[in-house]
Amino acid sequence: MIKAVVFDLDNTLIDFMRMKRTSIDAALNAMLGSGLEMEKEKASKKLYDLYSKHGIEHQKIFQKFLKKVTGEIDYRILAAGVVAYRKAQVGVLQPYAMVMPTLIKLREKGLKLAIVSDAPRFNAWIRLVEMHIHDFFDVVVTFEDTKKRKPDKAPFEVALNKLKLKPGECLMVGDWPERDIKGAKELGMKTAFAKYGAIKEVTIKADYELNKIEDVLRIVEDEK
């Protein structure tokens, strides 16, 4: 019987990559408009290359970008990019359709809810609060809690310990099979692949596939 549902955050509850692309585009437009002399296509490639190297959550990526393409950090250009990025992010950071009703119904069924995310702690909480869903979760595990990223067992084990449940009593829902599904399966958790948010090729099979977030309600009923 499923007693808790554990969610990944980015591309599972929120369309993270849409938000990221929109915010990056706004930042580039602002930096170019503030004096960065560079073709936008070339600037975009350089910035995404840096994200690939340093990670999509890197906090000082624009500083590294300006240093790389101009040899120095012009703080007028930097500030324009950061402000535009933040404004765009707030405008597009939304949960997937039906996330809120689904969380409400899971709560009504008496299930515990948790987040296991590789995102930095502050970033994860900012997203949860901005989407007004932070109060739904009994447990939130982020990178700082273990200094390990999925599929390492540690983040899942911390969540299970805090939930005070056995692996088989928990369903892990995530969009990245090699991280979310692999790590959870190795501990004996039930798994559901969030197909609607996936950007990676599927190589590891989950117990279930979700075409939309509300499909998790059917799984919970099936596992009674």
Predicted local distance difference test score (pLDDT) of residue 18: 87
The larger pLDDT score, comparing residue 201 to residue 91, is at 91
Residue 105 has phi, psi (to 5 degrees) of -70, -35
Predicted local distance difference test score (pLDDT) of residue 93: 82
Amino acid at 162: K
Residue carrying the six token digits 């009703």: 101
The one-character DSSP state at 218 is: H
Predicted local distance difference test score (pLDDT) of residue 154: 97
pLDDT over 70, % of the chain? 99
Mean pLDDT score, 166-195 = 96
Mean pLDDT score, 179-184 = 95
pLDDT tens digit sequence for 43-102: 999 999 999 999 888 889 999 999 999 999 999 999 999 999 989 988 788 899 899 999
Amino acid at 176: W
Q: Where are the domains of the chain?
A: 4-15+94-222, 17-92
Mean pLDDT score, 28-48 = 96
Predicted local distance difference test score (pLDDT) of residue 57: 81
Take residue 176 and report the two structure tokens written for it. Answer: 């990245």
Domain 4-15+94-222: homologous superfamily in CATH: HAD superfamily/HAD-like (3.40.50.1000)
Predicted local distance difference test score (pLDDT) of residue 91: 79
Take residue 170 and report the two structure tokens written for it. Answer: 């928990």
Take residue 88 and report the two structure tokens written for it. Answer: 């765009």
CA-based nearest residue to 100, from 142, 134, 73, 150:
134
Does 199 score more than 80 pLDDT?
no
In 74-116, which residue ranges form alpha helices assigned H by DSSP?
75-92, 99-108
The listed CATH number (3.90.1150.10, 1.10.10.970, 3.10.520.10, 1.10.150.520) that belongs to domain 17-92: 1.10.150.520
Predicted local distance difference test score (pLDDT) of residue 92: 83
The one-character DSSP state at 205 is: -
Q: How far is CA 132 from CA 39, 76, 95, 99, 128, in A?
A: 38, 33, 9, 11, 6
The larger pLDDT score, comparing residue 108 to residue 201, is at 108
Local confidence band at 16 (pLDDT 50, 70, 90 cut-offs): confident
Local confidence band at 223 (pLDDT 50, 70, 90 cut-offs): confident
Take residue 34 and report the two structure tokens written for it. Answer: 């503030």
Asked if residues 206 and 178 have their Cβ atoms less than 8 Å apart, the reply is no
CA neighbours within 13 Å on the CB side: how many for 168? 2
